[in-house]
Structure 1
Amino acid sequence: MASITGQVTQSLVKYDNPVLLTTAKDKKAATTKGKTGSASDAKSQAQTEEILNSILPPREFDQNGQKWIQKVSATPATRQDVEALNEALDRALIQRQARETGICPIREQLYDECFDELIRHVTISCAERGMLLLRVREELRMRVSAYQTLYESSVSFGLRKALQAELGRTEQEEKISHLLQEKKDLEKEVAKLKARLESVEKKEAERRALDEKKHTEEIQYLQHHNQQLKAQLVQALGPQKKEKQ
């Protein structure tokens, strides 16, 4: 039996020794058939075992082609059992290197097993308390599951936002680079236009200076020509005046 027990996953919950599935059925039938004298005690014990099996279902496994079953123990727990459970919990936390803080599946599993074992203790002494603790356990598991779902969704939401921010940052960097390049191109265009404007202004100034010079020369020429014409007119009119006299 020890070799069979060694094949079962160790747990903080106390289980009976594994038995063959066929043997377990025969044993249950014989127990039901042999209930005569203490019918109330047998019924109470059967109800307790049934409640225990509903709270902590029996484990089934195959070994050497045979099907084995291992039910949770219905033996009442003593104070020494509780102290041993506490020590086993601490030892398992150290051996399996569970994290002391934060999310740790190993620590969560061990505390679940410890809670199940405490439920077993309470159920044996009072089935109603065990059922109430079962409700508490299911509520806690549902709440933890909800928190895990919320955490996973928040992580995925954060990743999506981070990716969006990264994509947005890349787009902004590309836009800034494009605008900077456009600014450089515009600055070059402005420089070209300024150089062109200076060249046009210089040519226009030279043209105006040349026109003014031509205009001045024409005025001087016309003034000189006018003086010559006046002189010729005076010379032409001089003899005529003398003849009249």
Structure 2
Amino acid sequence: MNMITSTDSLLKYDNPELVSKNTERKSPKARPLKASSQHPASSTTTGPVPPPPKPKSPSSDAVNQQAEEILNAILPPREWTENNQLWVQRVSSMPCTRTDVIHLQEELDLKLQQRQAKDTGICPVRRQLYTECFDELIRQVTINCAERGVLLLQVRNEIRMTIDAYQTLYESSVAFGMRKALQAKQGQSDMELKITDLENEKRELERQVNELKAKCEAIERRENERRQVEEKKHTEEIQFLKRTNQQLKTQLDAIIAPKK
């Protein structure tokens, strides 16, 4: 991993520091109090009693140390390993000026343009840049007033929690929509398969109907032919019987006629 520089982020960092892996980080100890080598004078000692020592105001180093601790708590340092060496880069504790704020605005606009962030809608690039810008504003405010920095930290955390909630809701909605789409697609596939089966069944039934129609037509044709044959046969028999009857009648008349 390459060394990270402060120009990679809108949040200002100090120069990276090399930290040994075996080095234990110890919290700074309080300065030990030195006991006086002389015992206090007894009450029997004559002379005026010296006034109690006035409490000393905290030194600027202690104030700066406290501000850095608060700043590191709000914006933790970032760490990375390079060539088996641990590097730490802490947030800068340098106060800002009006020029720095103007430069921050210009740098934000430039990065939004360079990284082609979307003006509207969901855009991870725009969200990252504005998050870095807000962290830089928190850093600037914390250096001047730690209480305001802590308050802005609460605002930032609330915004992040809200965005994470919306993101979770969006992801669950997308997952739900995908499940419904898959179910609909599966249902469509099942319906298409069922339609195919019904069409095959319909074709099979139509084939059977055509076969039965052909059989019925063949039977009807055979029956018509048989009926015609039977009718012809009956007609011939009737004609034969009529001729026979006529012949017998003629013979009978011939037999009966001479007797008269």
TM-score by length of 1: 0.74
| CA–CA distance in structure 1, aligned partners of residues 200 and 82 of structure 2 | 75
Question: Amino acid of the residue matched to residue 153 of structure 1?
Answer: S
| Cα gap change, 1:226 to 1:44, in 2 (>3 Å) | same
In the TM superposition, 1:35-54 aligns within 5 A as 37-39=56-58, 45-54=64-73
- Give the deviation of 1:114 after TM superposition: 0.7
Q: Quick one: which amino acid aligns to residue 215 of structure 2?
A: R
1:166 matched to 2:185? The reply is: yes
Tell me which residue corresponds to 2:161: 142
How many residue pairs are counted as aligned between the two chains?
Answer: 233
More moved, 104-113 vs 45-54: 45-54
Secondary structure in structure 1 of the residue aligned to 2:10: coil
Match for residue 13 of structure 1? 11
The Cα of 1:13 is off from its aligned counterpart by 1.8
Deviation at 1:55, TM superposition (A): 0.9
Quote the Cα distance in structure 1 between the aligned partners of 2:231 and 2:11: 117
- Aligned pair in 2 of structure 1 residues 188, 26: CA closer, same or farther (>3 Å)? closer
- 2:125 maps to 106
Aligned to 2:31: 33
The question of 1:190 aligning with 2:209 is answered yes
Q: Which residue of 2 is the match for residue 77 of structure 1?
A: 96
Identify the match of residue 216 of structure 1 among 235, 243, 251: 235
CA RMSD of aligned residues (A): 3.6
Mapped to 1, the partners of 2:81 and 2:208 lie a distance apart of 86
Tell me which protein shows more helix as a share of its residues: 1
Q: Does structure 1 residue 88 correspond to structure 2 residue 114?
A: no
Out of 136, 145, 148, which is 1:126 matched to?
145
**Distance in 2 between the 1:64 and 1:224 partners?**
133
Alpha-carbon distance in 2 for matches of 1:64, 1:190: 84
Structure 2 segments unaligned to the other structure (5+ residues): 34-54
